Amino acid sequence: MFWIASLFSNTGTWVHEIGAGWLMSTLDGSPQMVSAVRAATALPIVLLAVPAGALSDRVDRRKMMLIVQCWLMAIAATAAMLTYLERITPVGLLILTIMMGLGVVLHVPTWQASIPEIVSRKHLPQAIALGSVSFNLARSVGPAVGGLLIAGIGTWAAFGVNALSFGVVLLAVFFWKRTRVTPSPSDTFFQSMRAGLVMVTSRGEMRGVLVRVGLFVLPASSLWALLPLVARGQLAWDARGYGYLVGAIGLGAVLAAVWLPRLRTHLGVDLTLVAAMLAYAVGLAIMAATPYRGPAILAALVVGTGWMAVLTTLNATAQMALPDEMRARGMSCYLSAMAMAMAAGSMVWGKVAAMQSPTFALAAASASLFVVCIVTLFWPKNHIVDELAEPVVQASA
């Protein structure tokens, strides 16, 4: 039930993201404003992820998710109404995007911290991978649906579909019979938040995860920030074509979920990360170089494969390195690091694209990612890597 609800919600989210990115490129086509949409999504996560994680470890997660889903539904419905009435402005779109990000920053740590309540630790990597399949299956379908809705009906329809998708999650959470009771906290909210930060910074496994995710996402964010401009300008595509590009990224991510367990078995986690980052860098270079749609679609497939493999592996490593009572706070730090790199990268590459061109920005980001591959190759290995690989071997046997 949760997986199906997650699939609906993720599909709606990707339909919404296609709408927001394309709408901004229509309202204001400057690289900085288009990339600001991605930065606005990440900004609340950067600022509030750690407090949100501390809150999630202190309250009933079911009740919190119910409230957050109602908030997200209201924001998406407001975006749909304003766009339909043609009252939306670039600044208004950014404000709504930030408000949507506020809901996301409360939802994601709570949702991820609830996974170990549903599955055992032994099956946690597979459960996380299954969640990633849902996310990336939605990413392969949602953008295409979004492109068709925008071209056939209007951008407001994309936002409306997202509002409806939150209703599916609302029903799933409402009927969830949670067996684990949230213990009454013995410390204050700020003590709880500080304890989470101390725990994350004192564990070598978590420090390694945070540094790696930051180093990867900083250059990788260039494509997410500039993809609407690549589709509209470099490839001369409409909203449908933009949806196809993002859909190809999602399809590549789904394909990665199939071979990722076996690859981790044969290469180990460290080399798998390097190979996945290398794949993303190559795909990014092809995307920067080609003016043709066919090679761009193939590059998007490669990029999606690398993106999913890197983030799924780091996510699972973080989940297994964290104790149950600290999981939401620890995962919020992980999300904060990823969002910080996404926000900073989006603004930096948007500025580079404005000064040079989107093509130049993607090429520079690709070169940076090759350097990250070398750094990751020589990064010290730690014991959590072996624990992560063990269940994967059993699952693929």
Residue 80 pLDDT exceeds 90: yes
One-character DSSP codes across 183-228: PPPSS-HHHHHHHHHHHHHH-HHHHHHHHHHHHHHHHHHHHHHHHH
Q: Write the CA distances from 174 to 67, 171, 177, 342, integer angstroms.
A: 11, 5, 8, 32
Predicted confidence band of residue 125 (pLDDT cuts 50, 70, 90):
low
Mean pLDDT of the 60-87 span? 92
Tell me, what's the pLDDT at 186?
Answer: 62
Tokens of 330: 């620890």
Most confidently modeled of 107-116, 130-139, 184-193, 273-282? 273-282
Q: CA-CA distance, 221 to 346, in Å (whole number)? A: 6
Residue 57 lies in a domain: yes
Task: Give dist(CA 165, CA 65) in Å, integer.
Answer: 14
Confidence of residue 393 (pLDDT cuts 50, 70, 90): very low
Predicted local distance difference test score (pLDDT) of residue 126: 65
pTM of whole model > 0.85? Answer: no
The confidence score (pLDDT) of residue 397 equals 27
Taking 60 as the threshold, does the pLDDT of residue 261 lie above it?
yes
- Please report whether residue 183 resides in a domain: no
pLDDT at position 200 is: 80
How many separate domains does the chain show? Answer: 1
Over residues 225-237, the mean pLDDT reads 91
Lowest mean pLDDT among 334-338, 343-347, 388-392: 388-392
Name which residue leads in pLDDT, 251 or 182: 251
Average pLDDT estimate for 190-200:
79
- Of 55-64, 163-172, 357-366, 380-389, the range with the highest mean pLDDT is 357-366
For residues 110 and 225, the model is more confident at: 225
Look at 37-51, 99-113, 128-142, 307-321 and tell me which has the smallest mean pLDDT.
128-142
Residue 134: which of 268, 2, 285 has the closest Cα?
Answer: 2
Mean pLDDT of 319-345: 82
Q: Compute the average pLDDT of residues 11-37.
A: 88
CATH number at residue 282: 1.20.1250.20
pLDDT of residue 121: 62
Whether 312 maps to a domain, the answer reads yes
Q: What is the pLDDT of residue 221?
A: 93
CA of residue 286 relative to chain centroid, distance: 22
Q: Is the pLDDT of residue 158 over 50?
A: yes
CB neighbour burial string for 236-266, b if at least 16 within 10 angstroms, e if fewer? ebebbbbbbbbbbbbbbbbbbbeebbebbbe
Is 181 part of any domain? no
pLDDT at position 384, please? 45
Confidence of residue 305 (pLDDT cuts 50, 70, 90): very high
Residue 340 · residue 209 · CB < 8 Å: no
Domain annotation covers residue 279: yes
Residue 184 in domain = no
45-59 pLDDT, tens digit per residue, is: 888 877 887 787 777
396 pLDDT more than 60: no
Structure tokens of 294? 């066919």
319 lies in some domain:
yes
Range of the domain at 330: 2-176+189-396
pLDDT at residue 132 in the model: 67
How many percent of the chain have pLDDT more than 70? 86
Q: Is the pLDDT of residue 92 over 70?
A: yes
Rounded distance between C-alpha atoms, residue 172 and residue 4, angstroms: 9
Helix axis angle, 124-152 to 155-174, nearest 10°: 150
Top-confidence residue, 330 or 122: 330
Q: Taking residues 3-25, what's their average pLDDT? A: 86
Q: Which of 351, 316, 350 minimizes the C-alpha distance to 331?
A: 316
Is 182 part of a structural domain of the chain?
no
Alpha carbons 41 and 235: distance in angstroms, whole number: 25
Is 70 exceeded by the pLDDT of residue 267?
yes
